[in-house]
Amino acid sequence: MEFLWCLVVGVMTTCGVFLMLERHIVRFLFGMILISSAINLAIFVAGRLTRGNPPLIASDALLPAAGYANPVPQALILTAIVIGFGLLLFTLLLAYRAIKELGTADMDKMHNTEAGQ
């Protein structure tokens, strides 16, 4: 079943990259959200998929039920999601400020800094 999700990751990445190359800064952000999701999914898939057996230990057991899902990628993704969330919020509001300050949402029109080089 990993194969299917490899494909989905590929599609999400493709669309994410495509959006990240667009001129509208908000659409860039959408691309970034897509790629973040794709990468989280990729990490998840890379840790192998297990159906319906979360890595929880029953209150009367010392070990999880056999065939439990790999908890490591889950923990990694959690950290990555949170970090990505912080980065994304910042980027979103930076984009807002840039649009307000520079008067355009077009990333290619934002070149005050490199003028005169």
CB atoms within 10 A of CB 115: 6
What's the closest the beta carbon of residue 44 comes to other proteins, in angstroms? 7
- Map the footprint of other proteins across residues 76-115, applying CB under 8 A: 76-102, 104-108, 110-115
Count of chain residues binding other proteins (CB under 8 A): 109
Q: Which of 32, 42, 39, 34 is nearest to 6 (CA)?
A: 42
State the binding string over 15-54 for other proteins (x if CB under 8 A, else -): xxxxxxxxxxxxxxxx-xxxxxxxxxxxxxxxxxxxxxxx
Q: What is the DSSP letter of 35?
A: H
What's the closest the beta carbon of residue 88 comes to other proteins, in angstroms? 6
Query: Is residue 68 a contact partner of residue 53, using CB atoms and an 8 Å limit?
Result: yes
CB atoms within 10 A of CB 28: 19
What's the closest the beta carbon of residue 65 comes to other proteins, in angstroms? 9
What's the closest the beta carbon of residue 36 comes to other proteins, in angstroms? 7
